[in-house]
Structure 1
């Protein structure tokens, strides 16, 4: 059913949005941001390994290039998860999710620097609008307002940069193996990278905590089931439509923070968020011919298992 594919993409974006809110709840309960990020990746890894075991043919695991670029993707994912939750811890879910949603902007800037993409007036205008939106959203004129700190802003920006690194890594790994294999390696690298900064006592305490259902939901929705339904959903969903549907992620995360975590946004922050979401989505739709990298073109670049 063709109509079901965009719905699956929307469902994945909804799950990713929920994961930000769930992470916020766990950190509000006292859990370390790195511990939250670690378990999101580890539980997601277990889910992806099951998927890989069901799709063992043509996985490319013997390719050295697959392992190299999947490792790059894994380091990007590790930074993305960790900085995203740090941004939530030192700011808010809404700000963190929106700043991370700016990842396509960072991909554009990197593409300009590497001469992979030719800049033009439209793209520079879009970038300027996003920067204006960032200023309004993060209240750079009044740092500390509404609980937003420099650490929260910096971590949110780094989360977007790391997500861009994940996109690049996945892009170049895709010709050499299946999405399941790439994600399995990437999440394994993520787990190895995040176990070191995570609080050791809390890492062990998760195994017997009453909060384990939240950790399980975070991993399944934020890194396991979400990727499966997303990749299947992209089979018959155009990149342009997927780019627009992806806006559900930061909107869901923001609403979660506002409604369940008692966060707040003043009018100019809402305006800034709107400028960012609309402009980044427009950039993604504009690039749907595959020239610049985007999450939607990356996951469908070779395999459609």
Structure 2
């Protein structure tokens, strides 16, 4: 199979990982500040990538003019996005955050079209909107869970997080076509750790050992290791297909979270969840229909 044919399946695995990480984040976010959790997440992720980078003998060498843009993309993609998402999750339920974050592919498609990187097509637009409808159906009455009275702050933070991811997904591609995927990912992640350390210091992260429970540390390790592995997969997908066709698979993340509830928490398998999964699959199919030319 060609890389372009493998990319959708790889992107689907990232969507599943994001859903699992969102559940784990909700579990542990109250045990530390959002920036501290994000710092640990990507410090662990970077530590997973660096040995592979050395083993593959792929040095982090970039043209002088590309160093700051790649670092900036990493800071926004890993630092600002995750800090905003974690901050939002401290205000609103995970299901509501997942639905708002599901606007990621729609925002990506608009940004890519505005920058001339992709064409807006009826099939692709319909597919993106259908996946968002599928997410809403799958979450069902969970969207009505009460949040804090100032929940609009969390909703705005999650929407900004989705916009950050959309912009980065479009702007990464030239660098991924110029350099190997692994060095770009590792360097971007390390840049974000430095930025997040500054934010975490403001939360008192370095005034003492992080006070996570045993279960909290398990969640942090899971989030960090899986983020390191699957971010490499994410960048690889962006290198081989269009940003919208990669980000649309993030619609799998809230559905994954809902299915974890069925499998692990004995939550009911409802008709809206099944209808949401069907709509999501239909949307993914529409968005990946051949359009007559390679993007």
When normalised by structure 1's length, the TM-score is 0.70
Aligned to 1:147: 146
Aligned to 2:178: 176
Aligned to 1:51: 52
Deviation at 1:92, TM superposition (A): 2.3
Deviations 1:154-198 (A, max 9, x none): 122112111112212321211331111111121122112222332
3-state SS of 2:210 partner:
helix
Q: Residue 241 and residue 188 in structure 1: after superposition, are their counterparts in 2 closer, same or farther (change >3 A)?
A: closer
3-state SS of 2:195 partner:
helix
1-side partners of 2:252 and 2:125: how far apart? 25
2-side partners of 1:224 and 1:165: how far apart? 20
Deviation at 1:81, TM superposition (A): 1.3
Preserved contact between residue 103 and residue 163 of structure 1 (Cα < 8 Å)? yes
Aligned-residue RMSD, C-alpha: 4.5
3-state SS of 2:199 partner:
coil
Aligned to 1:301: none
When normalised by structure 2's length, the TM-score is 0.72
Deviation at 1:234, TM superposition (A): 9.4
- Unaligned runs of 5+ residues in structure 1 are 292-305
- 1:225-264 to structure 2, matched below 5 A, reads 225-228=229-232, 247-256=251-260
- 1:1-305 to structure 2, matched below 5 A, reads 10-28=12-30, 30-57=31-58, 59=59, 61-74=61-74, 75-119=76-120, 145-148=144-147, 149-198=151-200, 199-202=202-205, 204-206=208-210, 210=214, 211-221=216-226, 223-228=227-232, 247-256=251-260, 277=280, 281=284, 284-286=287-289, 291=295
1-side partners of 2:238 and 2:137: how far apart? 33
3-state SS of 2:198 partner:
coil
Aligned length: 282
Q: Residue 103 and residue 272 in structure 1: after superposition, are their counterparts in 2 closer, same or farther (change >3 A)?
A: farther
Which deviates more, 147-156 or 271-280?
Answer: 271-280
Preserved contact between residue 77 and residue 168 of structure 2 (Cα < 8 Å)? yes
Q: Residue 261 and residue 77 in structure 1: after superposition, are their counterparts in 2 closer, same or farther (change >3 A)?
A: farther
Deviations 1:111-153 (A, max 9, x none): 33334445455566667767878998999xxxx9423421232
3-state SS of 2:168 partner:
helix
2-side partners of 1:112 and 1:70: how far apart? 22
Q: Residue 189 and residue 231 in structure 1: after superposition, are their counterparts in 2 closer, same or farther (change >3 A)?
A: closer
Deviation at 1:66, TM superposition (A): 3.6
- Unaligned runs of 5+ residues in structure 2 are none
Preserved contact between residue 34 and residue 197 of structure 1 (Cα < 8 Å)? yes
1-side partners of 2:132 and 2:107: how far apart? 11
